[in-house]
Structure 1
Amino acid sequence: MDPLADFLDGPRARGAFLLRQVMTAPWSVDVRDGAPLTLGVVRRGGAWFVPRTGEPVRLGTGDVVVVRGPEHYRIADSPTRLPQVVIHPGQRCTTVDGHDVSTTMTHGVRTWGNDPDGDDELLVGTYETQGEVGRLLTDALPRTFRVPADDDVTSAAVALLAAELDRDAVGQSSVLDRLLDLLLVHVVRRWLTDLDPASGGASEGANGETGEHASAAGPTTTRGWIGAQSDPVAGPAVRLLHEHPARAWTVASLAHEVGASRALLARRFHERVGQPPMAYLTTWRLALAADRLTTGSETVAAVARDLGWSSPFTFSAAFKRRYGLSPQHYRTHATGAAAHA
């Protein structure tokens, strides 16, 4: 599996929050839900995305904005419009002074807003949960980025999602989850294509600037798995580590597999990913382990063995350094939190 496949598996939607937001000016929504990842698509009219820091950006019909939590932001008809509605964790909606408006602003199946016939329509999909793999991989994304409305494949995915939002059939939640994943696939692919210097461009950040993601000289300055994608040395190395995390890798063996010297691999990997190859491997293994501990019934020893640790003791020590809890306590804590969610 390549890192993009791992990325898509990591934040996969499970009971994601989706709705059609329909508004008539003046309107302004202050989003404070802290969700790990949110996609917003303008279906009709327009909107302004206003981050807590940075410049507002105008979203036209068809534009997609991706927001990585937990940052707060506003969506409004004007960049200077003061908030009228606040979205809290759990998608609770109130006025600025705290009065609940969840019911009064609901208009049929998955439709919400101040006017069911409003001029501005957005589709909003929110990933409300995220495992460690998803967190590790989404952390490589910018806080926000925009994909413009000139991609036929993305437009087709949006149209399909929009058509399904009004339905309330058996299994509809699962259908919507998968369609949201499909849209995320296309949006991230498009962003990565534009980010690749070989493609001759870079998608804009939410503030309209590309400098954070691509240098004037060409090579991307984005770190993590994204930074390695277009590199002929670091890219294959990251893919090998993702595909075979349990292998007893060394810098020498990894360099041999990608056909580079140890020195070249070490330098290019650190430049592109932001940490040495073996440090990245440990981080990746621990993220995989954390998710397996919280979603499966394997013993700690089995997880350690399957992911390449020589003993459960060395695994537990590494895990506690990373997450502050032993593997067993981490599992117990996560299971208890899920039961009370």
Structure 2
Amino acid sequence: MDVVSDAISAIRVGSPSSRRLRVSGGWCVRLAPYEGAGFHVVLSGSCLLLPDGGGDPVPLGAGDVVLLPHGAGHVLADAAAGEVRRAVPFEDVRDTDVHRPGPGPEVELLCGKYRLDRSRTHPLMAELPQVVHLPHRVGDLPELRAAVDLLARELDERRPGSCLALPSLLDLLLVYMVRAWMARARTGAWPAVLTDPVTTAALRALHSDPAAPWTADRLAAEAGVSRATLARRFTSLVGRPPMAYLTWWRLTLAATRLRDSDVPLATVARESGYGSPYALSHAFSREFGTTPGRYRERARVVRPAVTAS
């Protein structure tokens, strides 16, 4: 696994949900804050996204994609909608409720959510801004554009297998949105982390085999530099030393495995690089303030099923 894939996989829960919305005239809908990430794809027309808290309006046009990685509340509205306090809650909206006579053209959107477990958010995901706007430009971000085109076709044609194809394409969309943000970001640590060859080599090694008996010397050899050079560059960019990052990542993997499976604790310990269930339990309790067994019980209580629609 690579860092981006692991960072997303560690926090994803269930399947994404989505809804197609066609609106026209003077319309305005509110999406409440959400324990996950929201996204919108503008299939046709244009509108405004108004973030909660008084942020600048974000104009969206046909082909634009926007990700709200921290589930921030916001309003979607026609450019001439006026008073946003009159916005209709998104969950209560039917297409017929927001089709109103007016000068504005019809707007068609794909709106959706990814449910995330934020208890162990990877710093790469935590660094994403509140709103990631990826405007459509001809020839720009071809992978993302291809995913948007495929989504539009699945929504239009509802061919056999679409119940599997649609959530899979939505998962792919999330990867492409994060990848596009990293390619365009002008600030933040992680775009720089993953362009530094030394740090990237070390991270690739740790993520490829986190259960291996890593030492600082072995990891430095894998990155092709001295131990001191690796420690300096890795700590400067990532924010923690290589072996401290490995410990954090191993416990994150253990928590994810406990949350998503019923495998025995001995298996979780072996897969995450701990020699025994006792060793894992000791480290886990120190990090999480609870035992692995209690963590698993609590995760089952708060983990609802989420399906695409």
- TM category (shorter chain) comes to 0.7 to 0.9
1:116 offset after TM fit, Å?
9.1
* Equivalent residues of 1:46, 1:120 under 8 A apart: yes
* Equivalent residues of 1:8, 1:181 under 8 A apart: no
User: 1:129-208 counterparts in 2 under 5 A?
Assistant: 129-130=116-117, 138-150=125-137, 151=140, 152-166=142-156, 171-195=161-185, 202=186
1:131 offset after TM fit, Å?
7.5
- Aligned counterpart, 1:207: none
Instruction: State how far apart, in whole Å, the 2-side matches of 1:49 and 1:339 are.
Output: 29
Structure 1: any 5+ residue segments left out of the alignment?
88-92, 94-100, 108-112, 196-201, 203-212, 214-220
1:330 partnered with 2:295:
yes
C-alpha distance after superposition, 1:308-332 (max 9, x if no partner)? 1233233223222333321000111
Between stretches 296-305 and 49-58, larger displacement belongs to: 49-58
Matched residue SS, 1:233: helix
1:85 partnered with 2:69:
no
C-alpha distance after superposition, 1:26-73 (max 9, x if no partner)? 222221141412221122221222223432222222111111123222
1:137 offset after TM fit, Å?
5.1
- Aligned counterpart, 1:46: 46
| 2:98 alignment partner, one of 96, 114, 120 | 114
Instruction: State how far apart, in whole Å, the 2-side matches of 1:49 and 1:116 are.
Output: 19
Q: Of Structure 1 and Structure 2, which has the larger fraction of its residues in helix?
A: 2
* Equivalent residues of 1:227, 1:273 under 8 A apart: no
Aligned-residue CA RMSD in angstroms? 2.8
C-alpha distance after superposition, 1:163-183 (max 9, x if no partner)? 212455665332211111222
1:129 offset after TM fit, Å?
4.4
Instruction: State how far apart, in whole Å, the 1-side matches of 2:37 and 2:158 are.
Output: 24
- Aligned counterpart, 1:32: 32
Instruction: State how far apart, in whole Å, the 2-side matches of 1:333 and 1:293 are.
Output: 10
* Equivalent residues of 2:5, 2:175 under 8 A apart: no
* Equivalent residues of 1:228, 1:238 under 8 A apart: no
Query: Aligned AA for 2:296?
Result: R
- Aligned counterpart, 1:295: 260
Aligned residues: 297
**More relative contact order, 1 or 2 (CA 8 Å, 6+ apart):** 2
Q: 1:42 to 1:52 in 2, by over 3 A?
A: same
Identity %: 37
C-alpha distance after superposition, 1:149-200 (max 9, x if no partner)? 02343222212112212455665332211111222233332222223xxxxx
* Equivalent residues of 1:30, 1:85 under 8 A apart: yes
Between stretches 123-132 and 257-266, larger displacement belongs to: 123-132
Matched residue SS, 1:260: coil
Q: 1:167 to 1:291 in 2, by over 3 A?
A: farther
- Aligned counterpart, 2:270: 305
* Equivalent residues of 1:42, 1:63 under 8 A apart: yes
1:12 offset after TM fit, Å?
5.6
Structure 2: any 5+ residue segments left out of the alignment?
none
Q: 1:338 to 1:153 in 2, by over 3 A?
A: closer
